[in-house]
Structure 1
Amino acid sequence: MDDVNLWTEAAHAERYLQIAYRIPRREEGEASLLECVPTRTRRILDLGSGEGRLIGLLLDHLPEATGIAVDFSDTMLDRLHARFGNDPRVTVVRHDLDAPLPDLGAFDAIVSSFAIHHLVDDRKRALYREIHDRLLPGGVFLNLEHVASATPALHQWFLGALGVAPEDDDPSNKLTPVETQLQWLRAIGFVEVDCHWKWRELALLAAVKAP
């Protein structure tokens, strides 16, 4: 698979922002993610934060928590700074997930929303290991993700639901089946690994670092 990633291009990021809040059933997935975050959570890492939608929801849900929002797109970083520049609970960090995670400390929860699928599979697996290493015992990893359909026809069905023509399918997407990713997480040593919500190619993958 070609390692194409258009997210360095401002126009590509802006096109996503125009449709991001109209993705079907997205709010269901986000609600499921919030249900999985322990109330004791105080430190959150959001990988591929985009404009800050998910970290914003989490901090509204857990007002005593703090978060680190990570992204590498200039467009998204500008949005993050504009949104959270006066919020002492949020630290914005520039980082490309294609590179190993920097040392940002340990976390009660590491989350991501529609970002990790832009990585090739070897890098996804390496990132999952890095996430495991950076979680506190009992910490949760929650990935609201774009995953592969079982067949090409089902993929076309999903694109149709989004109003995306086949020729406009994002070449940055490197989709991996749910069960493949769950197997990776189990092999790394995560426990309580499961898919807690799914609609077509959108899924919530969840895992816990053993206490």
Structure 2
Amino acid sequence: MTEFDKTRWSAKDFAYEYLETADIRILERRRLLEVLKSFYRYFLGDKQQNTVLDMGCGDGILIHELLKIDDSISATLIDGSEDMLNKARERLAGFKNIHFIKASFQELLYKDIPLPDFGFVVSSLAIHHLAMNEKKSIFNYIYSHLREGGYFVNTDVILSPTEALEKWYLELWKEWIIEKQTVLKLESKYEDIISKHTEKEHHSKLDILTDQLNGLKDVGFKDVDCFYKYGIFAMYGGRK
């Protein structure tokens, strides 16, 4: 497993540039957030004082969106980047019962970091950096920190099952980026996002959706499914 401090995510400039361009980089990002909130309302909205864990929280946008529909949430946000955590602290400064932990996935797996059990675990665009055996280790870790009946939802990029589909999905992504640039009247060009995505170091860690769904089932998750998919971007998860 690649050490977090040796990845580009540990660099402040890269992390901040990513946050500033997230709505351009991520296909239908706002729609994905709405689907996540719908999932929460339907499956967890009737429960008292939900506890939520965000793994690889970035600037805290997932928890912020959930707090908009349930401000009683007690949330724990974990990220390997102190710069990202600082952004999350700024975003969530007005809310109570919010806890922050600086830790990489490696540290969660191999160090004794005490965490309670949660009713809901979320992650976004973080787990895809792991190889499949490492993904399964994280899935098992998440399962072990969920309460009985709790849910896990992951939003991430995936590998297409065939080369032909991968090429089309990347073209679809390019069309989305160009459309956003035009609508927002941006002078900067962002198509290089796709070339960076296909670099071997990054692309080689991606796995097809079926393998990841089976990985969830293997560690014990029920009701496993893909809840939303647009090209290489997918939201999937299951219940303990």
Q: TM-score, normalised on structure 2?
A: 0.79
Q: Are residues 1:35 and 2:38 paired?
A: yes
> Offset of 1:14 from its aligned partner?
1.9
Unaligned runs of 5+ in 1: none
Q: 1:93 aligns with which of 97, 101, 107?
A: 101
Tell me which amino acid in the other structure corresponds to 1:181. Q
Question: Using CA pairs below 8 Å that are at least 6 residues apart, which structure has the higher relative contact order?
Answer: 1
Deviations 1:131-172 (A, max 9, x none): 101100000001111111223444344444244335432644
Secondary structure of the corresponding residue to residue 100 of structure 1: helix
- State which of 223, 227, 232 in structure 2 corresponds to 1:201: 232
Query: SS of the counterpart of 1:99?
Result: helix
Gap runs ≥5 in structure 2: 178-190
Which of the pair has more CA radius of gyration? Answer: 2
The range that moved more, 118-127 or 185-194, is 118-127
Give the CA deviation at 1:86. 4.5
The answer to whether the 8 A contact 2:64-2:91 is kept is: no
**Match for residue 184 of structure 1?**
215
Structure with greater proportional helix content:
2
CA contact (8 A) 1:30 1:144 kept: no
Name 1:106's counterpart in structure 2. Answer: 117
Q: Who is 1:12 aligned against?
A: 14
Q: Is the 8 A contact 2:80 2:102 kept in 1?
A: yes
Q: 2:128 aligns with which of 114, 117, 122?
A: 117
Q: Distance in 2 between matches of 1:172 and 1:75?
A: 22
Partner of 1:60: 68
Aligned to 2:188: none
Map Cα deviations across residues 174-200 of structure 1 (whole Å, 9 max, x no partner).
211111011011111110000011000
- Taking only aligned residues, the RMSD between alpha carbons, in angstroms, comes to 2.2
Question: Number of aligned pairs?
Answer: 209
Answer whether contact 1:6 1:172 (CA < 8 A) is retained.
no
Which of 55, 66, 78 aligns to 1:47? It is 55
TM-score, normalised to structure 1, is: 0.89
